[in-house]
Amino acid sequence: MTARIIDGAACAARLRETIAAEIEALPASARRPGLAVVLMGENPASQVYVRNKGVATRKAGMVSTEHRLAADASEAELLALVASLNADPGVDGVLVQLPLPGHIQVARVLAAIDPDKDVDGFHALNVGRLWGGEVGLIPCTPRGCMKLIAEVAPRLAGMTAVVLGRSGIVGKPMTQLLLAADCTVTIAHSRTRDLPGVCRQADILVSAVGVPGLVKADFIKPGAIVIDVGINRLDGEDGKTRLVGDVDFAEAVEVAGAITPVPGGVGPMTIACLLENTLIAYKRREGLGG
Ligand code: NAD
């Protein structure tokens, strides 16, 4: 059996088009949604992410602003910038690009973002809302994973799901979304015994670990849906960097029922869901529902 490939790039393009159409349809006099991204330091991967977010935001018809701070700027400077963006009526989404330099307390910065502008969904209030089943802003990557799963399985009730990885930005919120969709959910991680056996129970396996090729054929139940969140950079023999996921794609594609590729799977969905969150935040702030 060869798995169906879930095309994240196409799914993300459709979502971006829907968002752009909604913004296009706003009255000419209406304010456009605004996303402010804060980048501290020179992390090369972060610079690429921030650039891509800016391009996608503008393409969707939103207002994108980028705020850069030097790597040695103080936490007080960063917090003052976040406070000014919280207070800016033209800004609906505030995103502080992670990771932050070592002298900055990430939790303090995330706590300083207005929860209603917290388009990453990392503020403790939004984390709590997700766990409590209340309306909040949902982290972009798990949100995107749920849309990719919906491409191949519209009804998830009763399915067994295993989430590999327990980070606050992917693994934990992913489990909540699957639980809310009535799956029976297990979180597996670096200390799990018999990882292949646990993962093999899954009708839906989501891997968010960061170890290239960790998930082999014996981790996968025949016919399962496999969502590969991992983004790992490997140096190719030609001197070029190659992106691979956590899943050994060549093996997995022969066992799974449906699978996301890397690149072109979860990655594009993350940015599209960031735009969706920004639009949701805008609509709530403007009293337009959302
Ligand atoms: P993290 O380092 O915070 O968490 C990794 C998790 O994997 C931990 O909970 C750990 O217990 C578990 N783990 C580590 N080694 C393991 C092993 N050998 N076996 C089983 N579990 C193990 O990582 P994160 O921030 O959640 O990111 C995970 C991966 O997802 C990374 O590759 C990251 O680049 C990628 N990612 C992709 C997107 C996207 O948009 N596609 C977004 C966020 C993260």
Q: Is 216 a catalytic residue?
A: no
CATH architecture, range 31-119: 3-Layer(aba) Sandwich (3.40)
Q: How does DSSP classify residue 119?
A: T
Lowest-confidence region among 59-63, 128-132, 238-242: 238-242
Q: Range(s) for CATH 3.40.50.10860 in the chain?
A: 31-119
Residue with tokens 């691979």: 244
Q: One of 92, 97, 114, 176 is an active-site residue; which one?
A: 97
pLDDT of 80-107, one tens digit each? Answer: 999 999 999 999 999 999 999 999 999 9
Q: How does DSSP classify residue 214?
A: -
Q: Range(s) for CATH 3.40.50.720 in the chain?
A: 140-268
Angle at 44 between CA 266 and CA 229, to 5 degrees: 15
Average pLDDT over residues 37-56: 95
Q: For ligand 1, say whether the CB of 172 is within 6 Å of any of its atoms.
A: no
Provide CATH code, domain 140-268: 3.40.50.720
Q: Is 120 a catalytic residue?
A: yes
Ligand 1 centroid – CA 208 distance (Å) = 4
Asked if 166 and 209 count as a contact pair (C-beta separation under 8 A), the reply is: no
**Of all residues in the chain, what percent carry a pLDDT higher than 90?**
96
> Ligand 1: which of 53, 164, 167 to mutate, most ligand atoms within 8 Å of CB?
167
pLDDT of 229 higher than 80: yes
pLDDT of 1 higher than 80: no
Asked if 254 and 219 count as a contact pair (C-beta separation under 8 A), the reply is: no
Cα–Cα dist 25/8, whole Å: 26
Give the contacts of 38 (CB within 8 A, at least 6 positions apart): 67, 68, 69, 78, 81, 82, 85, 94, 95, 96, 97
Average pLDDT over residues 41-69: 96
Identify which of 288, 289, 272 has the alpha carbon closest to the alpha carbon of residue 30. Answer: 288
Q: For ligand 1, say whether the CB of 207 is within 6 Å of any of its atoms.
A: no
Q: For ligand 1, say whether the CB of 23 is within 6 Å of any of its atoms.
A: no
Q: Is 117 a catalytic residue?
A: no
Provide the pairing of β-strand 232-235 with 258-259.
unpaired
Q: For ligand 1, say whether the CB of 270 is within 6 Å of any of its atoms.
A: yes
Greatest Cα pair distance, the chain, in angstroms, is 59
Residues in a beta bridge with 38: 67, 96
Q: How many CB atoms lie within 10 A of CB 41?
A: 17
Residue with tokens 């995330």: 110
